[in-house]
Structure 1
């Protein structure tokens, strides 16, 4: 799967976001090492704490299906009805959740469009991340 195809899948997932409070829609597409793609959107809640980000929605869907090895993730976000003008990066909680399964070398694509994106590793986004190796 190309980077552009993964970003396109994230844009499609963003359309399903439930954002009645912030009106900021985020989509994520997580590519498993076996080639499957798991998508997610942000899902808000009136009490805010139960809100779930797009990246964790995709990750939790994958893990619930028994998939725990990943190659790359794409993330897109913008205000409802607006065109992407900035990249949207995973929040700190999502960075930590991804680190649990993906480690520091996994590419993270943060896109304005299929052809305009920033690519960083998870380790660049979460330097000195804490993962399973820290407990052993």
Structure 2
């Protein structure tokens, strides 16, 4: 892909701010024709810079009152065990994010649950049954100060 110019970066930034903004509004905002704006967006999309469009939902209003950051320590790191571990992680809707990390923990999960009892059940039925896991450390979020998917590109 060719280098991104200031208009490309501006378009991406605007889409991060409002994924529902119309092509006409973007074109007007950046002094482009609608066709030119659409071609730029298509090029950015085809290059994989845009991974999707999502609505930001209020988890609490949906009954998911508990957010937990979970450190997972593993004893086995074979290809087979890791693949099965990651397959089960991907299949769990309560796990919002999973990062393979450096340091004491092998993985850091971001998990939501209805309440503490629901989270306790999740630990017993899902996390403790993951292959290769020997340690689980939970950090319950008391209050989220900042949460964004918006990247600092402009």
Larger Rg, first or second structure (1 or 2): 2
| Between structures 1 and 2, the one with greater helix share | 2
TM-score by length of 1: 0.29
| Between structures 1 and 2, the one with greater strand share | 1
| Higher RCO structure (Cα 8 Å, ≥6 apart) | 2
